[in-house]
Amino acid sequence: MTSERVFGMRGMRMAALYLLICCSVVRLSLALDADVDVPAPVTDGLLFVDGIYFAPPYVFQRKGYALYANGAVVSPSNQWTYMLTDLRVDEDPELPPGLTKESSFADIEEKDKPPFKGFWSMKYGFLFQNYPREEAIQKYVQFMHSLPFVKSVSCDRESNIMTIETYSGETRPVGLAPVMPWVSRKTPPPTPEQVKAAIVAKGRGFARELRRGCAVFCASNGVHHAMYEKNVPELLPMVCDLMASDLPRAEKLKALKELELLQACDNPRWRTFADNFKLTPELEKRVGKPGKPLQTWMAERRARVAAGTGGLGTGGRGPVLK
């Protein structure tokens, strides 16, 4: 057998092996990027996305880095892709020079920086990666007090929010602790496979809440809230009655907040909820009619909240889904 013949056979074998490896890589890539149904369809509970009621069965699906429920986004890709960025911060970032009493937060926010590489993300990351949680919170509050344009800082540890007022009259609520766990961890970024697995896990969390009979309220920006199943029979009919009433949107949201329902407030997410809400015949059939007039129930609820017997803990706030 000639050397050319041997080389040709070996070359064919190598080409075949290379083709097999390439096909395997392509199949693996397609498997990672393919649509993934998270759990089996769920027939229990009630699901709202941006105020729109969705009828069961509920199907959760990961598409790329986003999570969908019945075709609607409930956890967008930008809520997950940031995890692929190396967020470790070893040095305390420096404030831009020249800040005065007339300055504002806008003078610190650097719009040209990559995501999570601006001053605030770096400051947040540095504190919570390098100090114990409580010490990091104290340092964060002290830092806010030290800004020359900040007039006052008030902290609500129950909600983990500090409200900052500037000399120019701006009021800004700021979280006291990270809502994104990866920001506070001094670890390498996860792999794409780990992030996609976390998205699937979040979908399973939604499915568990719905199977229990919770009413799950989602926003397309990725914020979620669940009303405990034990509170659904009493509170959800009243929420639906309130949202379907002729009250102005601002009054509806004010009532939800005062009555400690759904952790609602007058912000874009809840305004979208109020604008999109429709009490459809199917939803009304599933929820049922309130047992008393809306104004009567609201007065009773307001009294219970004031007395501390119907608000936090028993008012249907439910768990915030992680």
pLDDT at 156: 84
Please state, for a pLDDT cut of 70, what percent of the chain lies above it.
79
pLDDT at 187: 78
| pLDDT for 290 | 79
At residue 223 the predicted structure's pLDDT band, cuts being 50, 70 and 90, is confident
305-309: average pLDDT: 73
More confident residue, 260 or 110: 260
| Tokens standing for residue 293 | 């007039």
Mean pLDDT comparison of 35-49, 174-188, 209-223, highest-scoring range: 209-223
Q: Which residue has the higher pLDDT, 109 or 234?
A: 234
Q: Check if the beta carbon of residue 18 is closer than 8 Å to that of residue 24.
A: no
Residue-level pLDDT at 180:
59
Tokens of 275: 């604008």
Which long-range CB contacts under 8 A does 50-57 form with residues at least 24 apart?
A: 50/218, 50/219, 50/220, 50/272, 50/273, 50/276, 51/243, 51/272, 51/273, 51/274, 51/275, 51/276, 51/277, 52/276, 52/277, 52/278, 53/277, 53/278, 53/280, 53/282, 53/283, 55/282
Signed CA dihedral, 240, 233, 286, 205: sign only: positive
What average pLDDT does range 286-296 have in this prediction? 84
Which band of pLDDT confidence, cut at 50, 70 and 90, is reported for residue 5? very low
| pLDDT over 80 (residue 11) | no
Bridge partners (DSSP) of residue 66 are 63
In this structure, which amino acid lies at residue 288?
G
Residues 6+ apart with CB under 8 A from 129: 88, 89, 184, 185, 186
Highest mean pLDDT pick, 13-27, 36-50, 197-211: 197-211
125-177 tens-digit pLDDT: 899 999 998 999 999 999 999 999 999 999 888 777 889 999 998 888 888 87
Q: Output the CA–CA distances (angstroms, integers) from residue 114 to 118, 121, 125, 127, 243, in the order listed.
A: 7, 10, 15, 20, 40
What pLDDT does 270 receive? 87
Q: CB–CB of 34/194 below 8 Å?
A: no
Query: Residue 293's pLDDT is what?
Result: 85
48: β partners: 53, 217
Q: What is the pLDDT of residue 273?
A: 93
Residue for token pair 């129930």: 297
Tens digits of residue pLDDT in 32-89? 445 666 768 999 999 999 999 999 999 999 999 999 999 999 999 988 887 788 888 8
Ranking 72-76, 223-227, 264-268, 280-284 by mean pLDDT, the lowest is 264-268
Q: How far is CA 143 from CA 111, 117, 120, 137, 184, in A?
A: 21, 19, 12, 10, 18
pTM here?
0.63
